[in-house]
Amino acid sequence: MTGGSNSGLADIEVPRMGFIGTVGLVLHPERTCAPIVEAVVRWSRARGTKVVGLAAEVARIGCDAIPVEAEEMTTSADLMISLGGDGTMLRAMRLATGGHAPVLGVNVGRLGFLAEVDIPELPGALDAIDAHRFTVEARSGVHARFGDAQETALNDVVLLRSPGHKSAAVAVRVQGEPFVAYTADAVVVATPTGSTAYSFSAGGPIVSPNAEGLLVTPVAPHAAFNRSVFLSSGERLELEVLPHSGDLAVEADGRLVGRVAPGGVVEVTMLPAAAHVVRLGRTTFYQRAQRKLRLTGSAEHG
């Protein structure tokens, strides 16, 4: 209760006891999410909270979420909800970097590896989160600096052979010392989260998200050494584009973010706990990996 006024109930402030004060929405760029968004808005109104969304996405679907810019969402949201697949989830995690909000992944369409719930489970999930019945899982990121550019990714940073150019010839330096050189179609630097993405398709290992480090994997290597290398979180990694390499594209979480020419160096560092994802205890990382990667064999023996 505020002040000493006798003006009645209008002067009584009832503080919210739930976890969620503001929900931030990140939407799939193409799929229609309007009915799900409206369900979140109705849930929010019933509990005196608010829902914000990125201005361009809110305008596209014409929903009642409050339009904001990315920076305001990062600083104001108590919970971010990703409505889409793994690409949308990664974008939400990048937006959450630097803020305090964990990210809840809601699968819209095909099975998302990073999603925690499907659409019918969303209201119950919001109830559980608001009642503090959830845990958070820290996910590391990777930061790349090359020339005047710098980028952050949650899955991976990739140096990729450009069409029509020679193969990627990349020297790997650890703590300033040369370690190995790859000649390949690409070289992937993945976080543990990204170990089940491009790196896995190139033959790299599955790494638990509880591990802290960076995984370097060549794609279609042309040299005798064709194995992945896993570095600890504190080790400094540099990727030097060798003189006999072609020009290379630089991708961060699948987005083209720049190019490096022979002689260029990409400095890569790990960002511990760059983002946090919501876990409701329904599945483990290994169960999700089994489903998404369709792992069969020894786990199903009789």
Task: Show which residues are catalytic.
Answer: 86
CA distances, 93 to each of 86, 137, 240, 287 (Å): 10, 12, 28, 21
What is the 3 state secondary structure string of 1-53? CCCCCCCCHHHCCCCCCCCCCEEEEEECCCCCCHHHHHHHHHHHHHHCCEEEE
Q: Is 197 helix (H, G, I), strand (E, B) or coil?
A: coil
Residue 179 region by backbone torsions, left for phi larger than 0, else alpha for psi between -120 and 50, else beta: alpha
Contact status, residue 58 vs residue 73, Cβ threshold 8 Å? no
DSSP letter, residue 243: T
Count of Cβ atoms closer than 10 Å to residue 278 Cβ: 21
Q: Which two tokens stand for residue 239?
A: 């990727």
